[in-house]
Chain A
Amino acid sequence: MATSNVPQVMKQGKMVPWLYLLPALIVMGVFIVFPMINTISLSFKNADGTASAATTCVAGNPCWGIFENYRYALTAELETTNAATIWKSFWISSYGNMIKWILLMVSGTVSIGLAFAVLVDRVKYESVAKAVIFMPMAISFVGAGVIWKFMYDFGTTQVQIGLLNAIITGLGFKPVAFLSTPQINTFALVVVGIWIWTGFCMTLLSAALKSVPTEVLEAARVDGANEWRIFWRVIVPIIAPTIVVVITTMVINTLKLFDIVYVMTGGNFGTEVIATRMYREMYKSFQTGRGTAIAVVLIVLIIPFIYMNIKRFMEQEAMR
């Protein structure tokens, strides 16, 4: 039980702990709890929060009554002519892009991070190499956005000043407009995300690798297993809990992603994600009801992870 670590000889009144907690509880109440409740109620109202969302329905168009903003949040990006157009438009909507982001970002960061952690463990300049990979975590997403916008620069003239297009034209191919070509641009943005977050995954996984007991590895080697087999059959199962933590963390971070897309494409050319779409509805179109409905969709997507976070915490507490 968590309470057991409190000394039995405390001499304080019943109110004292609450005085310690008070400032923190007030700011959290004002800046997290109240806005969450308020956001949910605003999502059922019209553009400026003065009337029910049902009043915004247009006659002759589909209407979900009080859930009108949710209809907008979930279906406005889709072309509902037939199943094929829905499918096609879904994959360039903010939700479709989010799925691409999550799949590519998580697999990219975790696999590169794990591979690098395994390899860097065997070289003498480990700490320097790790610092290089981790460094982008110190840079703002805005800074990273500028760095990569320059890498992706697409010259309309003969000269390519962006490194990637210089390489591509150097190899004899046509230059690619990385950021304004639909489909390619989301991948280009994910690469920036991977560049930033791989160091984080690598560090967590590297710590887990170092905790794998050497006796276990040696026993496997004595039994004649090769390194590849040892990695998949011995190391991966042992560090599996850490891998799960890293994956969930990355999913949460990807869902909240805003800055990279905002700075590099502004959500144009089919790169919209949930957070940039919400920002556009709230602060460009001033559609508070729609914006908050999108925010609620986002929190609903994150709730499973909140639950997992609490559950994991409870398990840790039980182990203490």
Chain B
Amino acid sequence: MKKDSVNKKLNKIPTHLIVIFTAIIWIVPTLGLFITSLRPLPLINTTGWWTALEAPRGEKSYDAICASCHGSDGKALTTADLSDPELIKKYPRSNQLIPVLKQEYNGEPHLGDAAMPEVQEIADIAAYLKRVSGLDTSSRLTLNNYIDAIVGYRGTKTYVEDCATGQQSLDLKCTIEDVLNPRGMGRAFVNSIIVTLPATFLPILFAAFAGFAFSWLDFKGRSILFAILVGLQVVPLQMTLVPISRLYAQLGLNGSFLGVWLFHTGFGMPYAIYLMRNFLGGLPKDLFESAYLDGANHWTAFTKLAIPLAMPAISSLAIFQFLWVWNDLLVALVFLGGTTPVMTYQISNMVTSLGAGWHLLTAAAFLSILLPMIVFFAFQRYFVRGQLAGAVKG
């Protein structure tokens, strides 16, 4: 019996390995983004994000080559105190360091019997010496990328540094107002919220009415109308962009929030009604019959019976629609553009035209996926249900 269970466990090892391996592959890209967003720009561009938790650059080479004489803190030799910033200043790069390493000291080669290291390794050591001497105190993790992304800083240093030295760029004031700088992710976040909330509420409201009519009210052409609706779910968004932007141009709605709200409401409708109708239609018939027999009319049946019972469906729908609008790029690109940029627009703009550095891009991208991630992990059940039902939308 015992041997059996051991065998069973052994047989399962490949399964475990494949599942865990796949899960790791799936999570690594996002992890890379997150870690990178916390690293200072010079480090991002010179080392991979997976080295973020390794020893600082050059430490290994230093320990292997230099530490035996100089000591791990560089203070062991009083004639060559490596912790002295004045001394290290003279050797900023491998170019200056190589002659020293080739020189003889007390009649012996600097490195003793050891071979001369590669140039790259010498450069690493030079970099590490700056840390030993205290010339380089930069920390290896930072929140500056997030600050820079939020305020839309585009300079060569960091927003905090510039403000500390009083060199702020033209459109930044170094006050709390900068959070809403039109070029930054802070303002884009606010715009995204303004776009998303009504664009989530309106479709649900309209769909609740229509879903109730489709499931519990009788009218001519009900089945056909609903079948058409099922077909409309699949209609690609791209079909409707040109006529609507021409219409909006006449009405002056291009670049307005109202235009985007209405567009998302219209496009969210078929799926929202479909979901509401399927849920409401699944409620027991006796419930409505006895309500009507008790003298309830359609309005009380709708507000007092259908809506409270439909809360699970409404939750799924709300989460789906919220994330759909939040994550949408195309509609925002066409109808809002750069006048009131939302987060997805801002990021795509950074990628395509501005060529922002990885430090800004990763921080901005992480800011934009933060809310969806929270929603996902907090309401996973409703989230999954909504995503599965609405997969072909738009």
CB–CB A28/B266 < 8 A: yes
* Known pairs A10-B218, A258-B238; A137 contacts B292 (CB<8 A): no
User: Cβ of A131: which chain B residues have Cβ within 8 Å of it?
Assistant: 377, 380
Partner of A31, one of B263, B281, B344, B384: B263
In the complex the two chains form, is B329's CB within 8 Å of A140's CB? yes
Contact A20 B47 (CB under 8 A): no
B243 touches A146 (CB 8 A): no
B235 at the A/B interface (Cβ < 8 Å)? yes
The answer for the CA separation of A128 and B77 in the assembled complex, in Å, is 55
CB-based contact B285/A27 at 8 Å? no
Q: Kindly provide the distance from the CB of A255 to the nearest chain B CB, expressed in whole angstroms.
A: 7
A283 to B394, CA, bound (A): 19
A20 touches B212 (CB 8 A): yes
In the bound complex, what is the Cα–Cα distance between A264 and B236 (angstroms)?
21
In the complex, which residue of chain B has the Cβ closest to the Cβ of A118? B15
Q: For the complex, is B12 an interface residue (Cβ under 8 Å from A)?
A: yes
User: Is B243 a contact of A32 with CB atoms below 8 Å?
Assistant: no
Binds A, one of B93-101, B104-112, B225-233: B225-233
* A9–B217 CB distance below 8 A: no
**Which B residues from 10 to 55 make CB contacts under 8 A with A?**
12, 15-16, 18-20, 22-23, 26-30, 32-33, 36, 44-50
Q: Is A66 an interface residue (CB 8 A)?
A: no
| Chain A 14-31 interface mask (CB, 8 Å, partner B; 1/0) | 101110110111011011
CB atoms of A158 and B223 under 8 A apart: no
Known: A7-B216, A132-B26. A39 touches B391 (CB 8 A): no
**Contact residues in A for B394 (Cβ distance below 8 Å):** 256
Closest to B205 in A: A23
Instruction: Answer yes or no: A225 CB below 8 A from chain B CBs.
Output: no
Cross-chain contact A31 with B293 (CB below 8 angstroms) = no
CB atoms of A31 and B365 under 8 A apart: no
Contact partners of B234 in chain A: CB under 8 A: 252, 302, 305-306, 309
Whether the Cβ atoms of B210 and A150 lie closer than 8 Å is no
Contact with A along B364-380 (1 / 0, CB 8 A): 11001100110111001
Known A-B contacts A32-B267, A140-B369, A142-B347; the reply to A259 vs B231 at CB < 8 A is no
B321 at the interface (CB under 8 A from A): no
Given A163-B50, A313-B227, do A278 and B235 touch, yes or no (CB 8 Å)? Answer: no
Indicate if A275 sits at the interface (CB-CB under 8 A): yes
In the complex, whether B195 has a CB less than 8 A from a CB of chain A is no
Once the chains bind, are A129 and B23 in contact (CB under 8 Å)? yes
Q: Quick check: A20 and B231 within 8 Å, CB to CB?
A: no
Q: Give the contacting residue for A138; candidates B215, B232, B373; CB below 8 A.
A: B373
Interchain CA distance A30-B263 in the complex, whole Å: 9
Could you say which interface size class chain A belongs to? 35 or more
> Contact check: which of A16, A249, A259 meets B217 at CB < 8 Å?
A16
Chain B residues closer than 8 Å to A163, beta-carbon distance: 28-29, 32, 48-50
Contact partners of A18 in chain B: CB under 8 A: 213, 219
Say which one of A54-62, A229-237, A287-295 lies at the interface with B.
Answer: A287-295
Instruction: Decide: A139 near B266, CB < 8 A? Known: A262-B348, A275-B238.
Output: no
- B46 — nearest CB in chain A belongs to which residue? A159
Q: Is the CB of B266 within 8 A of A27?
A: yes
- By a CB distance below 8 angstroms, the chain B residues around A306 are 231, 234-235
Please indicate the chain A residues that have their CB under 8 angstroms from the CB of B329 in the complex: 140-142, 258-259, 262-263
A107 CA to B204 CA in the complex, in Å?
A: 35
Nearest CB in chain A: distance from B219 CB, A: 4
How many pairs, one residue from A and one from B, have CB atoms within 8 Å of each other in the complex? 310
- Contact string against B for A residues 115-150, beta-carbon threshold 8 Å, 1 for contact and 0 otherwise: 110011011000001011111111111110111111
Give the chain A neighbours of B120 by CB distance below 8 A: 158
Whole-angstrom distance between the alpha carbons of A266 and B348 in the complex?
10
B interface SS class = helix
Query: Is A143 a contact partner of B297 (Cβ separation < 8 A)?
Result: no
In the bound complex, CA of A185 to CA of B167 (Å): 42
Partner of A253, one of B239, B243, B289, B391: B391
What residues on B are CB-neighbors of A249 within 8 Å? 391-392
In the complex, the chain A residue whose C-beta lies closest to that of B346 is: A142
Chain A: CB-nearest residue to B385: A203
Contact of A122 among B12, B28, B235, B266 (CB under 8 A): B12
Please judge, given known A-B contacts A16-B217, A32-B235, A259-B329, whether A161 and B210 are in contact too, CB under 8 Å: no
- CA of A181 to CA of B279, assembled, Å: 48
Minimum Cβ distance to chain A for residue B289 (Å): 4
B387 within 8 A of A: yes
Q: Mark A225-255, 1 if CB is under 8 A from B, else 0.
A: 0000000000000000000000001001101
A49: min CB distance to chain B, Å: 8
Tell me the complex Cα distance, A200–B368, Å: 21
> Which residues on B sit within 8 Å (CB–CB) of A27?
206, 262, 265-266, 269
Name the one of A30, A146, A149 contacting B266, with C-beta atoms under 8 angstroms: A30
Determine if A11 is an interface residue (Cβ-Cβ < 8 Å).
yes
Q: Does A209 contact B (CB under 8 A)?
A: no
Whether, in the assembled complex, A2 has its beta carbon less than 8 Å from a beta carbon of chain B, the answer is yes
- Which among B32, B213, B231, B391 is the interface contact of A147 at CB below 8 angstroms? B32
Q: Using A143-B369, A166-B48, A314-B227 as known contacts, say yes or no to A6 and B242 having CB atoms under 8 A apart.
A: no
Which chain B positions have C-beta within 8 A of A159?
45-48
Q: Pick the contact of B22 from A36, A116, A278, A295 — CB < 8 Å? A: A116
Q: B214 — which chain A residues lie within 8 A by C-beta?
A: 21
Contact of A35 among B240, B323, B372 (CB under 8 A): B240
In whole angstroms, how far apart are the Cα atoms of A12 and B291 in the complex?
A: 14
Q: Mark B257-293, 1 if CB is under 8 A from A, else 0.
A: 0000011011101100100000001000100110011
- Is B189 close to A, CB under 8 A? no
B23 to A258, Cβ gap below 8 A?
no
Q: A74 contacts which chain B residues (CB < 8 A)?
A: none
Cβ of B328: which chain A residues have Cβ within 8 Å of it?
140
Q: Which residues of A contact B365 (CB under 8 A)?
A: 142-143, 146-147
Chain A residues closer than 8 Å to B22, beta-carbon distance: 112, 116, 129, 133
* A299 CB within 8 Å of chain B: yes
Asked whether any CB of chain A lies closer than 8 Å to the CB of B362, the reply is yes
The answer for the CA separation of A180 and B49 in the assembled complex, in Å, is 23
Whether B244 is near chain A, meaning CB under 8 Å from some CB there, is yes
Give me 4 other A-B pairs in contact (C-beta within 8 A), A32-B240, A132-B27, A159-B47 excluded: A12-B217, A135-B27, A259-B330, A282-B241
Of the A-B pairs whose beta carbons lie under 8 Å apart in the complex, a sample of 7, sorted by A's number, is A17-B217, A131-B377, A140-B329, A143-B327, A203-B388, A263-B347, A298-B238
